[in-house]
């Protein structure tokens, strides 16, 4: 960028002979030169700031640019909302599923004479290569066409946390898919597409040395497997498993409540029996006392006689 601005200044604006000396052209020249000079100064200051950030974090300026791009992508995904993030996830996984389906049923190793008479090997490769682009087409079309319905957190804090977490994971997932297509690795090893041409650019070679892309490349299969597994669970099994967990918790709670009620009833019963025993003992003592008194009176009477 700085090279372009320096070239523009030196080749077009610094040479007064290229411009007519009329007042109108002089004014236009001055405004354009001022604009380019201002942009040039801004870029110089920006590069200085990036160099300071890279030095403070012990990373390269390229890593700063890459992380800045990731941050911008994160803000975009957060802005589109949690429902559209799930829709983008689902569209990408759906595209990968269609690609895997075509690459499996049209694989040369699985073809017979009958299937080859229907679809030639060359046409099969064209279909498989074309289905790769469907991944990114569905990534865009599914959120635009209304998206998908998934259970979302009810609390605002849970919704915010899930939005940021899924946005970051979606960036990793899309980066892994794109790198897999560019480098023809993992499930895309036998796929020829226009993405492989990106590898010829020097800029891509420089970007590969960044911390972020190096991490994605090292863990590419794991990122893709976990992403596909997560969206399948969320779309098909999360509500079922959630209902089972709630049912089990309610059953445990009701069982504990019944045990507590039974324990309270048992303690009350023992107290009633204890009170009944005390009353019987008092009655027995009173009755025994009356008998003793009656016996003494009878004995005294006998002595008198």
Q: What is the pLDDT of residue 78?
A: 94
Mean pLDDT of the chain: 78
Tell me if the pTM is above 0.85: no
Greater model confidence, 87 or 34:
87
Q: What is the pLDDT of residue 67?
A: 92
Q: What is the pLDDT of residue 299?
A: 40
Q: What is the pLDDT of residue 151?
A: 81
With a pLDDT cut of 70, the percent of the chain lying above it is 74
Per-residue pLDDT tens digits for 193-244? 888 889 888 888 888 889 999 999 999 999 999 999 999 998 888 888 888 9
Q: Report which of 128, 246, 138 is spatially closest to residue 184, judged by C-alpha positions.
A: 128
Burial category of 87 from C-beta neighbours within 10 Å (exposed 0-12, middle 13-18, buried 19 and up):
buried
What confidence tier does 303 reach under pLDDT thresholds 50, 70, 90? very low
Range with the lowest mean pLDDT among 116-125, 176-185, 289-298? 289-298
Per-residue pLDDT tens digits for 161-201? 999 999 999 999 999 999 999 988 888 887 878 888 898 88
């Amino acid at each position: 960028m700085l090279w372009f601005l320096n070239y523009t200044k030196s080749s077009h604006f610094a040479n007064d002979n290229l411009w007519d000396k009329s007042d109108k052209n002089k004014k236009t020249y001055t405004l354009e030169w001022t604009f380019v000079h201002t942009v040039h100064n801004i870029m110089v200051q920006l590069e200085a700031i990036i160099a300071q950030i890279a030095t403070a974090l012990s990373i390269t300026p390229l890593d700063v640019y890459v992380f800045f791009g990731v941050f911008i992508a994160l803000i975009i995904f957060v802005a589109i909302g949690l429902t559209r993030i799930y829709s983008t996830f689902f569209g990408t996984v759906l595209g990968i599923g269609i690609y895997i389906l075509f690459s499996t049923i049209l694989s040369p190793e699985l073809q017979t004479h009958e299937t080859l008479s229907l679809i030639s090997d060359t046409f099969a490769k064209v279909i498989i290569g074309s289905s790769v682009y469907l991944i990114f087409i569905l990534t865009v079309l599914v959120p635009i066409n209304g998206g998908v319905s998934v259970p979302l957190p009810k609390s605002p804090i849970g919704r915010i946390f899930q939005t940021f977490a899924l946005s970051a994971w979606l960036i990793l997932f899309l980066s892994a898919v794109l790198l897999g297509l560019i480098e023809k690795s993992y499930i895309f090893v036998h796929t020829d597409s226009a993405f492989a041409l990106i590898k010829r650019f020097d800029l891509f070679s420089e970007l590969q040395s960044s911390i972020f892309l190096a991490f994605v490349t090292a863990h590419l299969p794991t990122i893709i497997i976990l992403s596909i597994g997560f969206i399948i669970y969320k779309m098909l099994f999360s509500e079922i498993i959630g209902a089972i967990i709630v049912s089990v918790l309610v059953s445990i709670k009701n069982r504990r409540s019944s045990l507590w009620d039974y324990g309270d009833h048992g303690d009350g019963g023992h107290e009633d029996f204890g009170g009944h025993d005390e009353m019987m003992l008092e009655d027995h003592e009173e009755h025994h006392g009356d008998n003793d008194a009656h016996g003494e009176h009878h004995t005294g009477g006998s002595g008198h006689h």
